[in-house]
Structures are given as C-alpha cells and as structure tokens.
Amino acid sequence: MTAANALRLAVLVLLVALVVHPQWFEVFFAPLAPEGGPVMYERASLLSLSLNHLGLVFAASGAATLVAVALAILVTRPAGAAFRPLARSIANMGQTFPPVAVLALAVPSLGFGSGPTLVALFLYGLLPILENAITGLTNLPRATMEAARGIGLSRWQSLTRVEIPLALPVILTGIRLSVVIALATATIGSTVAARTLGEVIIAGLLTNNTAFVLQGGLIVGLFAVLIYDAMGQIEALLVHSARI
C-alpha cells in the first residue's frame, strides 16, 4: 500500500468512526465545550445528518449536471451557438446570487426543509459544470473530429461516441468542483430546517459551544476531502484511458 492510499484509508476510517461512534472522540472535544455543557452533539444522529447532507448534495449536483451538460451540448451545436451568452448569463446569475437569498426567496413557495436547500445548491452548482462542459466540447482535437466525419458518423454518433468521451475528464473537473462547493453550501440549509450537518454547527454557534462547531465542520471537511480525491482519481483514470 502506498503512502497516499494509506492516508486515504486513515481519513476514511476517521470519518466513519466520528460519524458512527462520536463518543469515542469526547476526550478530544471536551476542552472546547463550555463548562458544564454537552461535549458531543446528541440532539440527532451524526450518521443520519451526514446521510441527509450527502443526499441533498448529490441530488442537487446530479440535477445541475444534467441541466448544465445538456445546455453545453445545445450551445456548442451550430443551431444553438447564439444561445451561448444567454446560457452563461443564467449560470453566472445562479453563482453570484447568494445562497442565503435563494433560501429566503424559496421558503414562501416551497416551505421549510429540504426544498429551498435543493434549489440553492442546484443554482450554485450550475456554473462550474456548464463552463467546463463548454470548454471540453469546444476544444476537441480537430483531427479526431475530422476522422469521425470521415468514417461516416452522424452528428448524434459523433457526440455520444467521440465528443462526450473526450470531453468527459474536463466535464468531471467541473462536477468535482461543483460537488465540493455544494458540500460546504449545504450547511446553511439548516437555517431553513433542512436536516444537514449545518445543524450541528448552528447549534454550536447559538450556544457558544466550539466543540459542536468543530464536530460539524470537521465532518463536512473530511467528506469534501475524500469525495474530491475520489473524483480526482476517476478523472485521472479517464485521462489515462483516453491516451491509450
């Protein structure tokens, strides 16, 4: 086992232990808790909050990926090239509009809970995926595209068999960035009663309990590191496969 793999395994074991058996770490968090106050967050299961947090992130990121890649395909076709500035403007708007504002605007129509959080994560995750998908689909090797036309591939066949596979590593980079952004942003969903790890952080801030804040932040950070690394490994494999 390489040092990198050993480090990945150690981080994974630490994360699982912290989520499943948080009481094992009480001695480490105790100095950060207020005198006489609780050390470990016990109002809800950290495992349940983690699963809900990840569920929101992957649901929103999945929807953002489908919409962003579809838009990128549309605006990189000759018939849709005129819509490229509009698509980029919409994605930029979603990125620059504060997630807290999206939550506030979505609550009256969607109510409290996961709905507003999903909307905020979806809008916030569009831009990285769209920009990378457009970049990947517009910077393909000219010789490869000419070869695809030369062997008689239709536009659909060229897209599915040549363009998307070649652009996939670049697209995956955008998805990886979007997912990591969503992991962090999802914590604010607890301000509108979404069940996320932000619940632990907010409880710590409200009670001046640094132990709670560190627990929530550490779990989110470990998830971000592991997911970012895992998607990076997949991306590297795709790049290697494309070169063979």
Tokens 């920009």 -> residue = 131
**Helical (H) or strand (E) element with 196:** none
Number of domain units in the chain? 1
Range of the structural domain that residue 150 is part of = 38-243
Q: What's the CATH code of the domain at 232?
A: 1.10.3720.10
Q: Is residue 3 part of a domain?
A: no
Q: Is residue 27 part of a domain?
A: no
Q: Is residue 5 part of a domain?
A: no
- One digit per residue, the tens of pLDDT, for the chain of length 244 reads 688 888 889 999 999 999 999 999 999 999 998 888 889 998 889 999 999 999 999 999 999 999 999 999 998 888 777 888 887 787 777 667 777 777 877 787 887 888 888 988 998 888 889 989 998 888 888 887 778 788 877 888 888 888 888 888 889 989 999 999 899 889 988 888 889 999 999 999 999 999 999 999 999 999 999 999 998 888 888 766 655 5
Q: Is residue 4 part of a domain?
A: no
Q: Is residue 21 part of a domain?
A: no
Phi-psi region of 111 (alpha: psi -120 to 50; beta: other; left: phi over 0): left
Q: Is residue 228 part of a domain?
A: yes
Q: Is residue 7 part of a domain?
A: no
Environment class of 221 (CB within 10 Å of its CB; exposed 0-12, middle 13-18, buried 19+): middle
Decide: pTM greater than 0.75.
Answer: yes
**52 contacts 200 by C-beta, under 8 angstroms:** no
